[in-house]
Amino acid sequence: MEKKSDAIESREQLGGGPLTFGRFIRSIRLGEEQSLKTFATKLGVSRQTLSDIEQERRSVSVQRAAKWAKKLGYAW
């Protein structure tokens, strides 16, 4: 069995469980020590929308995820 990388384990700890898109976004936000409101503004969504995404109550399209990755410096 392959061991998880330290980076993934760290993100899972910050995100609160197994890495999902919502938890990944939450771990980035917490790692940057930003409030929901500040981070939501950075991504161009409401605080409630971001909260719903982080809590897996709402999904994000692949296109939106790619735009967010670029905004956050994760695009290659």
Give domain limits for the chain.
6-72
* pTM, full prediction: 0.76
Give the Cα separation of 41 and 50 in Å (integer).
Answer: 9
pLDDT for 11: 66
CATH numeric code, 6-72: 1.10.260
pLDDT tens, 47-66?
999 999 999 999 999 999 99
Which of the residues in the chain have pLDDT under 70? Answer: 1-4, 7-8, 11-12, 14-17, 76
Asked if 40 and 50 count as a contact pair (C-beta separation under 8 A), the reply is yes
Taking CA atoms, 17 is separated from 9, 46, 50, 68, 73, in Å, by 9, 24, 18, 21, 23
The position carrying tokens 């995404």 is 53
